[in-house]
Structure 1
Amino acid sequence: MLAACDSPRPSAAAVRLPPVHAGFDYQIGGAYPPPPGVVVVTRDHTASPAASLYNICYVNAFQAQPDAQREWPADLLLRDADGRVVMDPDWNEALLDISTAAKRERVAVKVNNWIDECSDKGFNAIEPDNYDSYTRSNNLLTADDAKAFITSLAGHAHARGLAIGQKNTVELADSRSRTNLDFAVAEECAEHDECGRYASAFDDHVVVIEYTDPGMRKACSTFGSRLSIVRRDRDVSTPDDKNYVRKTCQSVLQKAVIRAFPLYGWGIGG
């Protein structure tokens, strides 16, 4: 059994969801003062929430951070038939072994501790990353394993008064009623024509991160009046980094108007 929580156990309906179509910033690469207009912000669980905003707390729930692999017991790292740790090649992260109920309980102990920290700090919601790790597991994990694990995390998050989001994994969006997830965090959903499926499954409670200008323009043109959308650089860097990028649908629209009417300078207030 997972460790019980002594505090009251609110239902999923009792937690506060992120507002729909709100100014959003994705700060998992480092916290900084939210730009004007931001209402919802996501930060890593090691950071503090932003004052007076809706704060989502990022935790890497299904994989080990590259510098944290040794913090996990060796048998909780997913291994292939030759005993080699199965890695996410894009981010150099070891997959966690959630293939059995017993291992899911043990992985959840650490993840739930992070959830508790997020709650204690005053965050409003949890973003458990890499729900889709089973798709990179060489068939060693299944979608049912992932759904079972995230359902247990959802129960713990709700017990601490936190909403919990589905990170990507659009193919499991229709399982929302079973997994008890409250909202979606969708990377590049416009790029992959997936925003509509998230919007439908989560009643527009969707925060979108696009990493390319074409993807951002498409997101804004199709869902800019419904979802919370931001364009960030892939490293999700801070403003003091030369590679920092942050754009909103408003700024994208203004540039589009200026391009359409260059002689008149229409755009901001035009």
Structure 2
Amino acid sequence: MRGVGVGGLSGVVAAAVVLLAAGCSSGGGSKAEAAGAGAPSPTVAITPAGDSTSSSAGAPGSAPSGSGSPSSSAAPGSSSSAKPSATPGSKLVSVSGGTPSSGGASPSLPLKGLVVMPPSGVKWDYQIGGAYTPPAGVGIVSRDRSAAPAPGLYNICYVNAFQAQPDATDWWRANHPDLLLKTAAGAPVIDENWNEQLLDVSTDAKRAALAKIVGGWFDDCRAKGFQAVEPDNLDSYSRSQGLLTADQDAAMATELARAAHAAGLAVAQKNTTEFLPRAKTIGFDFAVTEQCGDYDECGKYAAVYGSKVVDVEYDDKGFSAACRAYAGRIAIVRRDLDVSAAGGSSYVDKSC
């Protein structure tokens, strides 16, 4: 969140044939929001790989959840146990090296998996503070990775990928102290807004180790039935006391995009407009933004991702600004700052 304040070759080819036979068309050009829309029509990306066996980025042992207590297992190799669903009306695009490109995937290439893109023209809901039954008409939901996905909807899995959740700090210190960012004097570098210690992405070796851990969480998301991941705190370098750079965070994001695609998940750019010029090089598929109405940033994301932008606003001013300029072009929801579950005293949830 912002400081003011996720089978084999033959089977995959068969899935592609079914989609094409259903009359596939581009799912990214819709400008009209369909309140109460039915099943989403996501874009499907087929990822060429060096072999037809899915790689596992899972990390053995216990690992912390995105916003709750540490989970019992990173479930190595679990990404093959669930495949994201696709509906007729989808477009097939190839993904190579983490970077999407237009055009159909060559059937002569071994195919690693299906990546389902978020639908356009539907409402969305941001539920990272607690899961609840989505309001009527919602087609996209983002939930913490410790939660179950919402049945029948497009589900984004929130993962704190660049900082340690406060209740997971002890796990990191006990198991991976070398992956926590510290000053030269050994003091932890903390995001004071959220009391989260930054993860150390300063070297290739540390980024690889972190990608293995976080990639295991992505595998868990896939096994639960999520279609995408939302790696948060991409801008950790801005809170690093000068110890990290934007290039290092971008390199970490590239590793995470590869891990997400290997798990069969689309991956979102979370905030950080300064990364938009290299968004496709990193491998991002769509954007999850906070307060793009407040910060007059919605147009910047739409220029790169078109309708594949979902925005959450935390005050009425930003919500009104975003809705006035972009309702029907991107998905916009107004939530309370705590993104609390329905029934709470501070709960706010409305769309335009």
Normalised-by-shorter TM-score class: 0.7 to 0.9
* Structure with a larger share of its residues in helix: 1
Provide, for residues 201-234 of structure 1, a one-character-per-residue CA deviation record: whole Å limited to 9, x for no partner.
1122100000000100000000012001000001
**Post-superposition shift, 1:128?**
0.3
List aligned pairs for 1:192-203, cutoff 5 A: 192-203=295-306
List aligned pairs for 1:72-111, cutoff 5 A: 72=172, 73-111=176-214
Which runs of 5 or more structure 2 residues have no equivalent in the other structure? 1-53, 57-76, 81-93, 102-113
**Post-superposition shift, 1:145?**
0.6
Report the equivalent of 1:234. 337
> Given the alignment, which residue of 237, 240, 258 partners 1:137?
240
Tell me, yes or no, if the aligned pair for 2:141 and 2:156 is still in contact at 8 Å.
yes
Q: Percent sequence identity over matched residues?
A: 52
Instruction: Please say if 1:24 is aligned against 2:124.
Output: yes
Report the equivalent of 1:39. 139
CA distance in 2, matches of 1:63, 1:106: 14
Tell me, yes or no, if the aligned pair for 2:211 and 2:259 is still in contact at 8 Å.
no
List aligned pairs for 1:1-270, cutoff 5 A: 4-5=55-56, 11=95, 12=100, 15-72=115-172, 73-249=176-352
**Post-superposition shift, 1:105?**
1.1
72-81 or 50-59: bigger deviation: 72-81
CA distance in 1, matches of 2:217, 2:117: 20
Aligned residue type for 2:338: D
CA distance in 2, matches of 1:191, 1:198: 14
Which runs of 5 or more structure 1 residues have no equivalent in the other structure? 250-270
TM-score, normalisation: structure 1: 0.88
2:249 alignment partner, SS class: helix
1:64 alignment partner, SS class: coil
2:235 alignment partner, SS class: helix
- Number of residues of Structure 1 aligned to a counterpart in Structure 2: 246
* Deviation >6 Å, runs of 4+: none
Tell me, yes or no, if the aligned pair for 1:26 and 1:209 is still in contact at 8 Å.
yes
CA distance in 1, matches of 2:341, 2:210: 30
**Post-superposition shift, 1:20?**
2.0
**Post-superposition shift, 1:34?**
0.8
CA RMSD of aligned residues (A): 1.6
Aligned residue type for 1:131: L
Tell me, yes or no, if the aligned pair for 1:198 and 1:204 is still in contact at 8 Å.
no
1:127 alignment partner, SS class: strand
CA distance in 1, matches of 2:115, 2:263: 9
**Post-superposition shift, 1:55?**
0.3
Aligned residue type for 1:116: D
